[in-house]
Each structure stands twice: as structure tokens, then as C-alpha cells.
């Protein structure tokens, strides 16, 4: 059994989803682990992870519209230390995922044909985010 770890830096353009699948696939392939399990962990409380459709961009736009409705910036929150988008970002992160586990077979992620891994930035401004990757297998 072998293990590999890596920290992937991602600069976001602001609120929205960034497809990190190509970077994660490249790193996974370079590890030369044929069969295993990849864990991806988002090291932030105002960003998160999603596996979502990669074919129709309207899916991502509809998800963003949904989250704007359920966690609006004008929600009169107590916590607003970093601006109006601060608490809505925490709510969005709480409703999504901070960690994903993806099986690896034949040295590649076993994602479905229409699936991609997204870092979901919940803040309005650009941020430098970090994902911790851990691959275990043989």
C-alpha cells in the first residue's frame, strides 16, 4: 500500500465554481497508483467542494441562483465581520461539502462521463484557496 499527499492551490475569480478536475487528474496520474481512494479536503469555511455536471453551464448557473435565494447577502445576519457576503458564504459551505472521496481505478478518477470536481467559491472577491489531496492505494 502506498500513499501520496499534495496541496493544490486554486485562485478563484470570485463567487462561482472552478473546475479543478484537470489539475487533480494530472496529479493522480503522476502518483502512479493504479487502484485506490482519493480524498480531497477544502481547507476553508467559506468555500466548498461539489461533484456536478460538466456538460451544460446552465446547471452551474442554476445552482448559483438557488444558493443566492437561500443564503442572500441581505439576510440581516449577526456575523458580518468581513462584509455582506461573509455569513452567506458560511451558510453555503455548510450546505455543501468540505471533503470528497473518489475511487481511483486504472490510475484515474472513477468520475461519471458528465461529472467534474468543482471548488465552489462563496465569497464575492477573488481568493487563493487550498485543497489537501490524499491518495492511498497500490
The CATH number given to whatever domain includes residue 123 is 2.60.120.460
- What's the pLDDT at 67? 97
Residue 66's contacts (CB-CB under 8 Å, 6 or more residues apart) are: none
Rounded to two decimals, the pTM is: 0.96
pLDDT the model gives residue 98: 98
Backbone dihedral region for residue 76 (phi beyond 0: left; psi -120 to 50: alpha; all else: beta): left
Overall number of domains in the chain: 1
Helices assigned H by DSSP within 32-106: 57-70, 86-95
Query: In whole numbers, what is the pLDDT of the chain averaged over residues?
Result: 97
**pLDDT value of position 102:** 98
Q: Give the length of the chain.
A: 138
In the block, which residue shows the cell 487502484?
A: 35
Its domain, for residue 22, covers 2-137
- Determine the pLDDT at residue 70: 96
Nearest to 47 by CA among 74, 8, 78: 8
The whole-number pLDDT of residue 22 equals 98
Residue 16 pLDDT = 97
What percent of the chain is modeled with pLDDT above 70? 100
Amino acid at each position: 500500500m502506498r500513499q501520496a499527499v499534495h496541496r493544490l492551490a486554486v485562485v478563484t475569480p470570485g463567487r462561482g465554481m472552478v473546475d479543478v478536475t484537470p489539475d487533480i487528474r494530472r496529479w493522480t496520474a503522476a502518483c502512479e497508483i493504479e487502484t485506490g481512494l482519493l480524498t480531497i479536503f477544502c481547507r476553508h469555511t467559506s468555500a466548498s467542494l461539489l461533484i456536478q455536471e460538466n456538460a451544460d453551464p446552465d446547471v452551474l448557473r442554476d445552482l448559483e441562483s438557488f444558493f443566492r435565494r437561500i443564503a442572500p447577502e441581505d439576510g440581516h445576519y449577526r456575523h458580518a465581520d468581513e462584509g455582506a457576503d461573509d455569513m452567506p458564504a458560511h451558510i453555503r459551505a455548510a450546505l455543501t461539502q468540505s471533503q470528497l472521496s473518489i475511487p481511483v481505478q486504472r490510475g484515474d478518477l472513477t468520475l461519471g462521463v458528465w461529472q467534474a470536481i468543482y471548488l465552489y467559491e462563496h465569497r464575492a472577491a477573488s481568493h487563493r484557496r487550498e485543497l489537501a489531496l490524499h491518495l492511498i492505494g497500490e
